């Protein structure tokens, strides 16, 4: 049996842990997907969001930030009635705003990937976690990134959400060193 991170012991989390969490992501569409999903998670469990991930992909045009940036009031109302996603007006509005800001960052840096990974000097930070108790909710780096995102007009990008994003897209390797993924991601 594979040794996994403590938080991923439940079978429902295996696939996400084993295939995605902490694996470096450089594709702008996928980075945008995680940005929106991490914001949607605020106040909820990640398992709740994972259960609705396909609903989000369908409702949000597979996270096409160009399309989402043009969502009008009618589309936003439609999303408020979509049982496949978290129907929170502020989170839906934030998704549209963040799509617009995402495009602005892409224009400035050539890609959102260049912007985001620049905060980590373009390589994952290995925190060498021995126990899940060592994992932080935020760090000085997530504070810095959060502050910059907010300055640019992004919403639902507090330091805790940003750190969860950094973990999800592999900017930080917070797999426990005893976890089989720690070595795989480290390569």
Q: pLDDT by residue (tens digit) across 72-118?
A: 999 999 999 999 999 999 999 999 999 999 999 999 999 999 999 99
Q: Looking at the whole model, is its pTM more than 0.75?
A: yes
Separation of alpha carbons 56 and 59, rounded Å: 5
> Which pLDDT belongs to residue 186?
76
Distance CA 65, CA 21 (A): 22
Question: Given pLDDT bands bounded at 50, 70 and 90, which one contains residue 2?
Answer: confident
Catalytic status, residue 163:
no
16 noted as active-site residue: yes
CA 61/CA 78 separation, integer angstroms = 13
Percent of the chain residues past pLDDT 90, beyond the cut:
94
Catalytic residue among 21, 33, 38, 163: 38
| Residues 6+ positions from 118 with CB-CB distance below 8 Å | 109
Q: What percent of the chain has pLDDT over 70?
A: 99
Task: State both tokens at 113.
Answer: 């990937």
38 catalytic? Reply is yes
**What are the residue ranges spanned by the domains of the chain?**
13-186
Q: Examine the pLDDT at 187 and tell me if it is beyond 70.
A: no
Write the class of the CATH domain 13-186: mainly alpha
> Which candidate in 16, 20, 93, 104 is catalytic?
16
Arithmetic mean of pLDDT, 18-47: 97
Give one DSSP letter per residue of 89-102, joined into a string. HHHHHHHHHHHHHH
Catalytic residue, chosen from 7, 20, 46, 104, is: 46
Q: What is the rounded average pLDDT for all residues in the chain?
A: 97
């Amino acid at each position: 049996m594979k040794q996994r991170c403590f938080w991923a012991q439940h079978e429902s989390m295996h696939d996400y842990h084993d295939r995605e969490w902490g694996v470096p992501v450089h594709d702008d569409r996928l980075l945008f997907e995680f940005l929106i999903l991490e914001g949607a998670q605020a106040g909820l469990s990640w398992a709740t969001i994972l259960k609705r991930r396909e609903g989000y992909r369908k409702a949000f045009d597979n996270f096409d930030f160009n399309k989402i940036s043009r969502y009008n009031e009618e589309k936003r109302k439609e999303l408020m009635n979509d049982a496949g996603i978290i129907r929170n007006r502020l989170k839906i509005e934030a998704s549209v705003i963040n799509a617009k800001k995402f495009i602005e960052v892409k224009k400035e840096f050539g890609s959102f990937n260049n912007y985001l990974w620049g905060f980590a000097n373009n390589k994952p930070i290995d925190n060498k976690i021995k126990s899940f108790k060592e994992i932080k909710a935020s760090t000085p780096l997530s504070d810095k990134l959060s502050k910059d995102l907010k300055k640019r007009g992004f919403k639902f990008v507090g330091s805790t959400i940003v750190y969860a994003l950094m973990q999800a897209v592999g900017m930080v390797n917070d797999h426990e060193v005893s976890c089989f993924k720690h070595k795989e991601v480290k390569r």
